């Protein structure tokens, strides 16, 4: 694995963690149950990026993240079947 490849994984995971942090902060500032937020969309994008980076390196996605990704995919695109 080259340095560039590990950087991609590191940066992708950092984006996921930042998106989760932003979502947590938004939840404390405004609680609107059932309303999808831009922070949730950013987390979905970050999770998709991390999933792609992991797949590109031949690594499996952690089960918890896989479930989280499936939930956000279903939330924002209910017609799309969950990934297996």
- 8 Å CB contact between 74 and 36: no
3-state secondary structure of 79: coil
pLDDT tens per residue, range 50-60:
999 999 999 99
Quickly state the pLDDT bin for 61 (edges 50, 70, 90): very high
Cα distance between residue 47 and residue 31, in whole Å: 23
pLDDT tens per residue, range 1-10:
454 566 689 9
Cα distance between residue 38 and residue 57, in whole Å: 29
pTM of the prediction? Answer: 0.77
Annotate 46-73 with DSSP letters as a single string: HHHHHHHHHHHTTPPPPHHHHHHHHHHH
Cα distance between residue 52 and residue 9, in whole Å: 9
């Amino acid at each position: 694995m080259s340095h560039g490849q590990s950087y991609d994984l590191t940066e992708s995971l950092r984006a996921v963690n930042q998106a989760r942090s932003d979502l947590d902060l938004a939840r404390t500032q405004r609680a609107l149950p059932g309303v999808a937020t831009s922070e949730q969309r950013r987390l979905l994008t970050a999770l998709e990026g991390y999933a792609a980076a992991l797949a590109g390196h031949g690594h499996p996605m952690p089960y918890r993240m896989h479930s989280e990704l499936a939930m956000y995919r279903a939330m924002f695109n209910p017609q799309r079947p969950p990934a297996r």
